[in-house]
Each structure stands twice: as structure tokens, then as C-alpha cells.
Amino acid sequence: MARLIGGLGTSHVPSIAVALDRGLADTPDWKPFFDGYIPAKAWMARKKPDIAIVIYNDHGNSFFLDRVPTLALGVADSYRPIDEGWGPRAIPPIPGAADFAWHLADRMVERHFDPLICRELEVDHGMQVPLELFYGLPQAWPVRTVPILVNTIQYPIPTPQRLWALGAVLREAIESWPGDETVVILGTGGLSHQLQGARAGFINRAADHDWLENIGPHPERYRDMTREQYVETFGSEGAELIMWLAMRAAMNPKVRTVMTHYHAPASMTGAGMVVLENEEEPA
């Protein structure tokens, strides 16, 4: 069977891509953020996973407000960057793990999930940025991917409990896959931010730090929250953090927090990262 070797959570802020494209990673404003990912990139280089399941939300690019699937699953052989308004970014196509993705699709339907199956899909910064943060920008991506898109844009969004249940299906799919691939799951989005309304510019640094500290050892406190509590605590766009829950639920009850990173500049969002590994379960 395949083996889950790590769970990673990370922000996917679009300005990160702009900073990379413009060569700003070593400027005073951006260096503290990018330096925090250096140990995570080293972790990924050591582990060399074969497949990365990337859980993210589209931002009105592949899907718009007239058609918003609650869950969508990519089963393509590759994924190209989409034009987000200034042309597609000059990054290589992202290879897909189509065979495993179809296996996952079957498991999801067996467990009463009904994803939109995407044989073709262009991906925006929600998927691009996390891969770049953990891999840099290689000539060719060294990992095959399975994108899972979650609606966190147009209400009603799914509940935290539904994303937790999705994580259990991911684990089942990995453990029932007959190949010997190693797998990582990337839960993306957040941290706290709100882009509109009376609380535009809202950041909750204390809640962000608590999240990074406790998503590993105490995930139940976040699993049991309501959608309204996510919005109140993390902001309307900070509700993207429910996507980290699927990653965490796929892992063992006990995990080891390998590293965390947090950066909240004078901008519109708190940004952060966590790397988790499974603790061994008793025989």
C-alpha cells in the first residue's frame, strides 16, 4: 500500500507568487517570510514524496460564482497555470497522479462524497504557491499531484466536520492503494484575514499562533468549531483554514510537529506553515 509520510499546512497568498516572479524574496519586506520556509524545503527534499494531495480553493478562476462546486477533484495527467488577470505565470505544468486520483474518486463516492470530477483543470495560486514554497521553482516538478478544490468562497461553505470526514477518506484511499508510493497532504489557505466589509484588514495574530501550535496535538478544538466561529476568529477568508482539517484528519491521532513558521507583516493576512509527521501507533 501507499504510505502517508507527512501533513503540511501553508498559506497560499497570491502576493507570494508576485514576490517570487518579481525577484523580491530577498528584500527586507519578504525575506523573513521566505526564510521561514527554508527548513520545510529541506524536509521535502529529504523525504522526496511521490504524490502530493493539495487541498485548496479556487479564487474565481477555474470556477466562477455562477457554478461553484462544494468539492472538486482533479484526475488529469497535468495541470497548467491559469491566467489570473495578467497572463499565466511562467512555471512548468504540474504533473498529475491520475491513476491514484481515480482511485480516490471511487473511494470518495463510496463514502458518500460527490466531487465534481475534473478531467481538465487549470490551477491558480491556491495550488501553485504551496508547491513553490516547499519545492522552489524547479525546471520540472519532482512530484505528482492530486488537486482537491473546496468551496470557501461562496456561502454555504462546507462545515469543518465535513472536511474532517474527508480526511478519513483520504487516509483510506492511501492505505488501500496497491502501489508503494509515499504521499504528503497539503492543506492550504489562511491564516487569519478578511478582505471586505467592516473588518477588512482583520488579522488575529494570537489565534494564528494558537492554530499552528495546536492543529497537531489538539485538532478536535478546531474540528468542533462552527463555520461562524471560524469567520469570527479568523475572518471571512480565514475560514479557508478548514482545508487544513482534511490533512490533519488523514494522519494518526498522535503526530509530531516538526516545524512551524508565522509571519504577519503590515498587510492583509497572517501567513504561516506547519509540518507534521505521524507518531508510531501501538502494534
Catalytic residues: 125, 193
Alpha carbon separation from 251 to 83, 169, 199, 218, 276 (Å, rounded): 34, 11, 34, 13, 9
| Unique residue bearing C-alpha cell 482534511 | 246
Write b or e for each residue in 110-139: b if 16 or more Cβ atoms lie within 10 A of its Cβ, otherwise e: eeebebeebeebbbbbbbbbbbbbbbeeee
Nearest residue to 149 (alpha-carbon basis) of 192, 206, 111, 187:
187
By CB atoms closer than 10 A (0-12, 13-18, 19+), residue 253 is exposed
Tracing cell 475534473 back to the chain, one arrives at 118
Residue 51 phi/psi, 5-degree rounding, is -130, 135
Compute φ and ψ for 10, nearest 5 degrees.
-160, 150
Please state, in angstroms and rounded to a whole number, the distance separating the CA atoms of residues 186 and 246. Answer: 9
Q: What is the DSSP string of 104-127?
A: HHHHHHHTT--PEEESS-EE-HHH
237, 199 in Cβ contact below 8 A? no
Q: Can you tell me the distance from the alpha carbon of 250 to that of 41, in angstroms, rounded to the nearest whole number?
A: 22
Name the DSSP class of 193: -
Strands 122-123 and 78-81: what pairing?
A: parallel
